[in-house]
Amino acid sequence: MINKKVDNVTAALQGVKDDMTMMLGGFGLCGIPENAIAELVKIGVKGLTCISNNAGVDDFGLGLLLQKRQIKKMVSSYVGENDEFERQMLSGELDVELIPQGTLAERCRAAQAGFPAVYTPAGYGTEVAEGKETREFDGKMHVLEHAFKADFAFVKAWKGDAAGNLIFKGTSRNFNPNMCGAAKITVAEVEELVPVGTLNPDHIHIPGIFVQRIFQGATFEKRIEQRTVRTK
Amino acid sequence: MINKKVDNVTAALQGVKDDMTMMLGGFGLCGIPENAIAELVKIGVKGLTCISNNAGVDDFGLGLLLQKRQIKKMVSSYVGENDEFERQMLSGELDVELIPQGTLAERCRAAQAGFPAVYTPAGYGTEVAEGKETREFDGKMHVLEHAFKADFAFVKAWKGDAAGNLIFKGTSRNFNPNMCGAAKITVAEVEELVPVGTLNPDHIHIPGIFVQRIFQGATFEKRIEQRTVRTK
Amino acid sequence: MLDKIGIAKRIAQEVQDGYYVNLGIGIPTLVANFVRADIDVEFQSENGVLGMGPFPFEGEEDADIINAGKQTITTLAGASFFDSAMSFAMIRGQHVHLTILGAMEVAQNGDIANWKIPGKMVKGMGGAMDLVASAENIIVAMMHTNKRGESKLLKKCALPLTGVGCVKKVVTNLAVLEITPNGFKLLERAPGVSVEAIKNATEGNLLIEGDIPEMSL
Amino acid sequence: MLDKIGIAKRIAQEVQDGYYVNLGIGIPTLVANFVRADIDVEFQSENGVLGMGPFPFEGEEDADIINAGKQTITTLAGASFFDSAMSFAMIRGQHVHLTILGAMEVAQNGDIANWKIPGKMVKGMGGAMDLVASAENIIVAMMHTNKRGESKLLKKCALPLTGVGCVKKVVTNLAVLEITPNGFKLLERAPGVSVEAIKNATEGNLLIEGDIPEMSL
């Protein structure tokens, strides 16, 4: 077993520098790497390009990095929940590349799986396809989208072991598995680091080969964005 | 819940006709859809194109269909364990397209996921790339490989439910998940059909949306091809 | 004239037995409440769940179980969770039968715009571009006119497009319309709404053939 | 001169701490038995397992747990199972550090042929074409000459290629050789084998610089 365990978030983020490109898992605030984000704020690295489906909310998630002006560019599919984001974008302080959600997922997966690019129908005929190669297959138009290139991928899982194996829970899975192994270094933070050998090999969502560093997060707030309930 | 359960293999293979293209899961004899293969032999359909990593052995798996001359063409990556196969191929009775194993998996996955084609480095500079489009990305040459088009996909899982959800065991998983939803109709045979709601939604490898018909196989021989052991 | 609930009710009639359905944020989300009880339907949410159920009972919310609108949800028996790549495999691979989403503009050729107002509002397309580029059956749920009273059913979209020639049907507070090669074909009027009122509220080419029935809800 | 076990032992020295390794059928499979005990290595098999262990004890074979050679195996703590697409994501995505496989021919530019003898033998390439097209470090394990005594280290492959310019190192019963821009660079001699003997058995360009040490096993 190849040991990926590091002691804490500080060790996990060794090598993070200004102007790097980061992938961050999560959908809304669900399944985001809270500990890595907090550490990025603490380190104070600047000029980051962040690939993440959303940009957090004003005071949580990637919103914390936006507040501190640590992000130069966001690559996302939906940023509707963040006023500071919208302000920085409309004022031109922040460079934003909006891309379709499925394209975002697949550009991650392409990087993970060694594909240079994929043809997807999403975005054909729209701004998203401007300047990109398009091509017809079976009478349907497609856009060529390239694999992401990132320095770090920060993902959050439910359980993991020192071998780097990961298991996700519910919809907090989302982009996290697709980003594992899609950057030079993948850092996984887990709610629970369990002894090697206790995870059922059939239940593992991401084999440890895709993960370089793993640690148990000190805290997980797991904030709920839209608390919707019904009454009994 | 949308019910995919059918009573038996006969019902599961309704609509199978001569000259169809079939995908069949399995690696060697591990995880092959034994019940569907037996039924194809029984029905006696002919002129089949079979997409399957291997071709079984002389007297089991797809070898049974080869014996009966039901297969017109095989699309596989490795066929080394089957003498009758080699004989039919070298004599020209059987049309064979050999393709790299990862390409085979990804052409299935492309069909499942709605991608028309993928660029892979596998096979560049070899016979496999002859007549195919090649292209350089980042200094590396790639071959354009198209998504498969198939009429039926026959897969084998360990457990499943009437919603079509599947869980695989060990290395019998192999190509089976990648073929689900990659054909017009996906037929899953399972060792155990469990009540809906008993499978943990986090453990499901293939959501039921990719499966049209599911049944509990009457028997599974699960023959071992190379029994290798050590002594205590 | 229909309210949002009415639009959702009418669209629910389009949902057929055995359908996998993706519901967008807003009115489309309401559709789930009005699907006939005697048919089997499963709802997919692109953030990674199939077999979505109703909102949880108070106190039973799970931060790890949400829909694409970031709302806490529950799951039904037979549900499954999966990653984003697999979720869009379902969508792009046309395994999802019906997509219902909102729009800011729809053109008579089926173009749709719903993600950006240049210089004013940019929320992003989320999964909408993947959905409209791939789905075989796309129904738009929206008000017939915008806040300034201008038609949202146009000859040509003015806003940046989300997808081209993809919308099949539009259900508004005034009418049900089908996209045809010649424009919006009026299928049904909302209760109490005249053909004339629909004409006035529709900028795009409107095809009116014979008597237009009032919808039944 | 080495036997198959000897070749496997020598190649095992190339395996480094922290490596994920894919072993081909035949001699490469034997390498696992000789890796130093003080380093951490995991073996991947392309049929869908990471963390392969030894063969099972008699009576404990599981038809559902095999390697790419279709042999029954066990798994070690920390192992995982996955589908074929993910397995080749590991390979194509260069997450596997070292690939060891057999060959029928290797050319001095790193071309390899190991899947077909036209008109005679066609077993197929299996995962070999994906492995050689993607792996950063590829070591070939083979006999230096074929059954007819002809060199398998050639100027140019005569058989259909498996991959182009991909092999980094060749370990045979006679020698360890590195592929360089100028041909096969002789690194080590097998015990008791002379440089002359290696010269005679090598058809491709052979570079001999200084004294060639005998390998230590």
Here the tokens at position C18 are 């055995």
Which residue among C75, C88, C95 places its CB closest to the CB of B209? C95
**Which residue of B114, B181, B196 is in closest CB contact with C78?**
B196
- Per-residue exposure over C159-188, b if at least 16 CB sit within 10 Å of its own CB, e if not: bbbbbbebbbbbbbbbbbbebeeebbbbbb
Task: Let me know if residue D215 belongs to a domain.
Answer: no
Spatial distance between the Cα atoms of D11 and D5, rounded to a whole number of angstroms: 10
The alpha-carbon gap from D61 to the nearest alpha carbon of chain B, in Å, equals 7
Mean pLDDT of B30-57: 97
Asked whether the beta carbons of residue D78 and residue A202 sit closer than 8 angstroms, the reply is no
A132 vs B: CB within 8 A: no
Residues of chain A with pLDDT under 50: none
Per-residue confidence band for B82, with pLDDT thresholds at 50, 70 and 90: confident
Confidence of residue C162 (pLDDT cuts 50, 70, 90): very high
Chains B and D in direct contact, meaning 3 or more beta-carbon pairs closer than 8 angstroms: yes
d(CA D153, CA A140): 48
Count CB pairs under 8 A between chains A and D. 74
State the average pLDDT for chain B: 96
Q: Give the minimum alpha-carbon distance from A138 to chain B in angstroms, rounded to a whole number.
A: 8
Cβ neighbours of B183 in C, within 8 Å: none
Neighbours of D37 (CB within 10 A): 4
Q: Are B188 and B165 in contact (CB under 8 A)?
A: no
Q: Is residue D168 part of a domain?
A: yes
**What are the structure tokens assigned to C180, written together?**
């045809």
Q: Which residue of C has its CA nearest to A226?
A: C71
The tokens for D5 are 């076990």
For the purposes of burial, counting CB atoms within 10 Å of the CB of A75, is it exposed (0-12), middle (13-18) or buried (19 or more)? buried
Least Cα separation, residue A160 to chain C (angstroms): 17
Tell me if B222 sits within 8 A of B192, measured CB to CB.
Answer: no
C216 assigned to some structural domain: no
Instruction: Decide if C46 is catalytic.
Output: yes
CA–CA dist D153, D110 (Å, integer): 10
Q: Residue A25 has what pLDDT?
A: 98
Contact C182/B at CB under 8 A:
no
Nearest to B117 among A137, A167, A203 (CB): A137
C69 touches chain A (CB under 8 A): yes
Whether residue D213 is contained in a domain is answered as no
* Chain B residues whose beta carbon lies within 8 Å of the beta carbon of residue A116: 119, 137-138, 140, 142
CB contact under 8 A, A202 and B167: yes
Would you say residue B85 has pLDDT above 90?
Answer: no
Helix/strand/coil for C201: helix
- Please identify which of the residues C14, C42, C46, C188 carries the catalytic annotation: C46
Q: Is C217 within the bounds of a domain?
A: no
pLDDT at C120 over 90: no
**What tokens appear for B153 in the block?**
């996909």
Q: Quote the pLDDT of residue A194.
A: 98
pLDDT for A38 equals 98
Which residues in chain A have their CB less than 8 angstroms from residue B169's CB? 202
| B224 contacts chain A (CB < 8 A) | no
- The alpha-carbon gap from A59 to the nearest alpha carbon of chain C, in Å, equals 16
Phi then psi dihedrals of residue D40, to 5 deg = -105, 120
Which domain range does residue D101 map to?
4-207
Per-residue pLDDT, B192: 98
pLDDT computed for residue B41 by the predictor:
98
Full DSSP string of A55-82? --BTTBTTHHHHHTT-EEEEEES--TT-
Closest-CA residue of chain A to B158 = A202
Instruction: With cut-offs at 50, 70 and 90, classify the pLDDT of residue D120.
Output: confident
Give the best residue of A4, A106, A209, A212 to mutate against chain D (max D CB count within 10 A). A209
Amino acid at B42: K
Predicted local distance difference test score (pLDDT) of residue B86: 83
The pLDDT of residue A84: 84
- The answer to whether residue C190 sits within a structural domain is yes
Residues 6+ apart with CB under 8 A from B56: B29, B32, B37, B62, B63, B64, B65, B66, B81, B82
List the single best residue of A112, A135, A202, A206 to mutate versus B (max B Cβ within 10 A). A202
Q: Which of 22-51 (D) contact A at CB < 8 A? A: 40-42, 44, 49-51
Among B41, B7, B4, B8, which residue's Cα sits nearest to residue B24? B41
CA distance D153 to D18: 31
Which residues of D are identified as catalytic?
A: 46
What letter does residue A44 receive in the DSSP assignment? T
**Arithmetic mean of pLDDT over chain D:** 96
Cβ within 8 Å of residue D182, ≥6 positions away = D205, D207
> By the CB < 8 Å criterion, does A50 face chain D?
no
Residue D185 counted as domain residue: yes
Contacts of C146 (CB under 8 A, 6+ apart): C104, C152
Query: CB-CB: which of A116, A137, A173 is closest to B116?
Result: A137
pLDDT in the model for residue B96 = 94
Helical spans, DSSP H, in chain A:
9-12, 34-43, 63-67, 83-90, 101-113, 176-179
Partner A contacted by D53 (CB < 8 A): no
| Cα angle B39-B43-B45, degrees, rounded to a multiple of 5 | 110
Chain B residues touching residue C45 (CB < 8 angstroms):
none
A146 forms bridges with which residues in the sheet?
A117
Q: Is the pLDDT of residue D181 over 80?
A: yes
Does A30 contact C56 at a Cβ distance shorter than 8 Å? no
Query: Structural domains in chain B?
Result: 9-116+148-216 (3.40.1080.10)
Give residue B87's pLDDT. Answer: 85
Q: Which residue has the higher pLDDT, C77 or D26?
A: C77
Q: How many CB pairs under 8 A join B and D?
A: 190
Q: What is the CATH number of the domain that holds C150?
A: 3.40.1080.10
Tell me the CA distances in angstroms from D182 to A10, B30, B41, D145, D205, one per residue in order: 47, 44, 56, 21, 7
For residue range B138-155, what is the model confidence (pLDDT) as tens digits?
Answer: 999 999 999 999 999 999
Inspect the interface and report whether the beta carbons of A115 and B116 lie closer than 8 Å: no
Give the CA count within 13 Å in the CB-facing half-sphere of C140: 33
d(CA C144, CA C128): 20
What percentage of chain B has pLDDT greater than the value 90? 93
Interface predicted TM-score of the whole assembly (ipTM), two decimals: 0.97
Count of all residues that appear for chain A in the document: 232
Q: Is residue C212 in some structural domain? A: no
Q: Which residues of A are less than 8 Å from C124 in CB distance?
A: 76-80, 98
Does the distance separating the beta carbons of B123 and D133 come in below 8 Å? yes
Tens-place pLDDT, residues D80-111: 999 999 999 999 999 999 999 999 999 999 99
Chains D and C are in contact, defined as 3 or more C-beta pairs closer than 8 angstroms = no
Determine, for residues A140 and B202 on separate chains, whether the beta-carbon distance falls below 8 Å: no
Nearest CB to B161: which of C18, C76, C78?
A: C78
Which chain B positions have a beta carbon within 8 Å of D55's beta carbon?
228-230
Nearest CA in chain B to A170: B202
Contact present, D134 and D172 (Cβ < 8 Å): no
For chain D, the domain total comes to 1
Residues of chain A with Cβ-Cβ distance to D18 below 8 Å are 2
Measure the N-to-C terminal CA separation of chain A; round to a whole number of Å: 49
* Mean pLDDT estimate for chain C: 96
Asked if the model's pLDDT at residue C171 lies above 90, the reply is yes
Q: Which residues contact A44 (CB under 8 A, 6 or more apart)?
A: A68, A70
Q: Say what the pLDDT of residue C87 is.
A: 98
